[in-house]
Amino acid sequence: MKEHYINEKTGISYTLRGDYYLPDLLPAEEEHEIGIWGQRYLRFIKKYRKVLYTNLLTSGVLNAHLAEVDARAQTMLNDLIKKFAEQEGVNEMLKEQNQMEWVGRMNNIRNRAEEIVYNEVLFK
């Protein structure tokens, strides 16, 4: 059996999936690695922004859009953590002197930065 064929009358291409040939209705999409932020955004748009999700899916750009959102969110998170740590004096010297205080303050900074990323990038 052929894995892939095109019906000459209709021009529709079919791909073998298990025992059945299924039509390739959606355009082929480039594969991008999606991180945690992209996965969270995907859950959000599937549940609350169904029209946007459907439009991205049917146009074949969902994966690329998720990768772009993921990269933007991760960059913003890293920048915010660095900025907040510098402003609050959380540095390597504090880490050497009092590790538990450093961990607590960095966790606080990370949580605040994540909340900002959620509101500015994901849930906008």
pLDDT at 89: 94
Bridge-based pairing state of the strands 20-23 and 13-17: antiparallel
54 and 15 fall within a common domain = no
* 49 shares a domain with 101: yes
**51 and 99 belong to one structural domain:** yes
Q: What is the pLDDT of residue 123?
A: 87
Instruction: Work out how many domains the chain is built from and give that number.
Output: 2
Segments forming the whole domain that contains residue 67:
31-122
Kindly report each contact of residues 102-109 with a partner whose C-beta sits within 8 Å and lies 24 or more positions away, as own/partner.
106/81, 109/81, 109/84, 109/85
Statement to judge: residues 60 and 13 lie in one domain: no
Q: Is residue 64 domain-shared with residue 84, that is, in the same domain?
A: yes
Under 8 Å between Cβ of 71 and 65: no
Whether residues 67 and 111 share a domain: the answer is yes
| 38 and 79 in a common domain | yes
State pLDDT tens for residues 21-68. Answer: 777 776 666 778 899 999 999 999 999 999 999 999 888 899 999 999
54 shares a domain with 36 = yes
Instruction: Give Cβ neighbours of residue 38 (< 8 Å, ≥ 6 apart).
Output: 66, 67, 69, 70, 73
- Do both 4 and 14 map to the same domain? yes
Instruction: Please check whether residues 56 and 83 belong to one and the same domain.
Output: yes
Are 3 and 57 found together in one domain? no
pTM: 0.76
Per-residue pLDDT band for 1 (boundaries 50, 70, 90) equals low
Distance of CA 31 to CAs 43, 62, 64, Å? Answer: 18, 10, 8
Q: Quick check: helix, strand or coil at residue 112?
A: helix
The per-residue pLDDT for range 67-115, each reduced to its tens digit, is 999 999 999 999 999 999 999 999 999 999 999 999 999 999 999 999 9
Helix axis angle for 36-48 and 50-59, nearest 10°, is 120
